[in-house]
Amino acid sequence: MIALGNDYVLEAHFDLLRGNLAITANVTIGAGEVVALLGPNGAGKTTILECIAGGLAISHGHINVSGEKVDDPVAGIWKPPEKRHVGIVFQDNLLFPHMNVMDNVAFSLRCRGHSKKSARGKAAEVLSFLGIAELGRKPIKELSGGQTKQVAIARSIVQEPSLFLLDEPLSGLDSLAGSNLKAFIVNRLKTLETGCLLVTHDSDFVMEVADRAYVLESGIVTEFGHPADLRTKPSTSYVADFAGTNSYSGVVRHGRLMINESFRLQVAELSTTGPVSVSINSRSISVHRHSSHGSPRNNLPIVVDSVKSLGDVTRIVTREPIPLVIDITTISANELNVKEGEHLWATIKATEIDVEPLDV
């Protein structure tokens, strides 16, 4: 049913000037590989997607999809979107409100000359493959946000693309719908042998589904690699914030880490001494109403500066004893009823504090 991709479904090496932003893209994706494209707002992520999809022409370089050149200004090659075998789902989904789910999914096939029976048959096959066959006869207006996103994905998949582009698929969804869509993508889309380029601001989503990640800042790739490596050793402040990694400089003496006079921690690495760089994963910190008496040796009072929901996760940032990013489940945050300005307790296990000697 689904066309298998070649060994290399995307090879994009190009330059583009968009307004005042100079973008340099060097992105490759293998068959069956999910690659995340990360970066702050305005970095050029959606522009790169538009170039790959055929909505924008590049200035220099080339774009190959499944070994076929689709854009090369020097060679005079430019193929329109419908000739690129690229499926794309933007944030707005763009479903036709006057059609039901089945006809929305079948629409592109009808435009390519398929009979109504053939187009609906293939649409039904894709809906069944994705586990949403029961939505086929539903009007678009009756769908939830998560279901609407799933149907937009189905409409793209029915075209049997070699490459799949997802632009903020979790945007606008509540935590339950977001969780369902994550499971949907992990359990369904990952079984396809197409390549997938994913733009998202959800770090948990990236950790769950992405094989590799590129970080785009001000139009330039500043970091790439396995998502877990970006989380444990971020090289820029954006990556540290995205991954929820607390990065500091400090000094270790006899297993005691001092970041400042009011922030001292016990570390597990007793052989390290002297100036160090410090990384503490935001998800390794727990929050309590009272001082913990469990196994963690680092119990410290905190003052909450801000609380922000990120779907399944709620991010707490402290103002005392030091700016500290803490990510806990939204369920836990609701149970604690965390509010700005509150005095709480945080616990950090010594084994969760990563210290690396600094060359001085």
pLDDT tens-digit map of 2-54: 333 347 899 999 999 988 999 999 999 998 889 999 998 899 999 999 999 99
Of 26, 266, 41, 5, give the one whose Cα is nearest residue 161. 5
Residues 146 and 172 in one domain: yes
Cis peptide before 80 (omega within 30 of 0): no
Q: Tell me: do 187 and 286 sit in the same domain.
A: no
Q: Are residues 161 and 232 in the same domain?
A: yes
Residues 177 and 221 grouped into a single domain: yes
Q: Could you report the per-residue pLDDT of 70-82, keeping only the tens digit for each?
A: 999 999 999 999 8
Give all strands of the β-sheet with 343-348 in edge-to-edge order. Answer: 285-288, 343-348, 298-309, 313-320, 325-329
Domain termination site, one of 201, 218, 241: 241
pLDDT at 6: 44
Question: Both 146 and 164 in a single domain?
Answer: yes
pLDDT score at 14? 96
List, in sequence order, every residue forming a beta bridge with 299; answer none if it has no partner: 347
> pLDDT value at position 341?
92
Based on the domain organization, do 174 and 281 belong to the same domain?
no
Residue where a domain terminates, one of 241, 269, 299: 241
Q: Which of 220, 241, 262 marks a domain boundary?
A: 241
59 and 134 share one domain: yes
**What is the CATH classification number for the domain harbouring 261?**
2.40.50.100
Q: Which residue has the tokens 């499926």?
A: 87
Total structural domains within the chain: 2
Residue with tokens 């998560």: 146
Let me know whether 305 and 282 are in one domain.
Answer: yes
Whether residue 282 sits in one domain with residue 233: no
196 and 54 in a common domain: yes
Give the 3-state secondary structure of 179-215: HHHHHHHHHCHHHCCCEEEEECCCHHHHHHHCCEEEE
Share of the chain above pLDDT 70, in %: 93
Domain membership of residue 3 (yes or no) is: no
Segments forming the whole domain that contains residue 101: 8-241
| 186 has a pLDDT exceeding 90 | no
Q: What residues contact 14, with CB distance under 8 A and at least 6 apart? A: 24, 25, 51, 58, 59, 60, 61, 62, 63, 71
184 domain residue, yes or no: yes
Same domain (yes/no): 221, 254: no
Q: Which residue has the higher pLDDT, 76 or 235?
A: 76
Question: Which two tokens mark 27?
Answer: 């992105």
- Note whether 233 and 130 are same-domain residues: yes
Which string of DSSP letters, residue by residue, matches 138-174? Answer: -BGGG--HHHHHHHHHHHHHTT--SEEEEESTTTT--
Tell me the per-residue pLDDT of 269-301, one tens digit each, with 9 for 90 and over: 888 888 988 888 888 899 999 887 655 578 889
CATH of the domain at 116: 3.40.50.300
Q: Is residue 114 part of a domain?
A: yes
